[in-house]
Amino acid sequence: MDDTQKMTYFMRAYPNKKEAMEHFKKPSEYDIKMLRVLPKIYKHYETHKNRTSIVKIDDNEARDLIYKVHGIGNKNTNKVKETKSKKEVVPKKETIITCTATKMNGEICGCKVKPNMKFCGRHCLK
Ligand SMILES: [Zn+2]
């Protein structure tokens, strides 16, 4: 904790600059305790900020995940309560491009394409 950080604490903890300055010069037992704890809290914020695993998902994706996790189908939409879970949901975000070739029976193939190719192994144009 440098003086700037300390001062930030005193300014936040006390209603005016005069009181803050008084405490800054002569910290109370409580102040000392707080100053000892604060660096830990700051450190915690830091790790939170540096976290890179947070993935933003849109509403539909979130809903699908909730359904999946709770094993509920779309029919029960009204019964689904909002999950309060603070756990991070980290879905694997892969862009899977599927083969758009049409099969003999008229259906779209839909297989996973080969890397850097437009079609799957079966429909690859050689
Ligand atoms: Zn294909």
Same domain, 44 and 9: yes
Tell me which residue range forms the domain holding 12: 3-49
Contacts of range 8-11, beta carbons closer than 8 Å, 24 or more positions apart: 9/34, 9/35, 9/38
Distance from the CA of 110 to the center of ligand 1, in angstroms? 6
Residues 26 and 41 reside in one and the same domain: yes
Tell me the pLDDT tens digit for each residue of 43-99: 887 777 777 766 677 788 778 877 787 776 655 455 555 555 566 666 666 677 899
Residues 38 and 59 in one domain: no
Structural domains counted in the chain: 3
SS3 call for 98: strand
Q: Where are the alpha helices (DSSP H) in the chain?
A: 3-13, 17-25, 29-49, 59-70
> What's the 6 CA to ligand 1 centre distance in angstroms?
64
pTM strictly above 0.85: no
> 19 with 45, same domain?
yes
- Tell how far the Cα of 94 is from the centroid of ligand 1, in angstroms: 19
CA of 114 to the centre of ligand 1 (A): 9
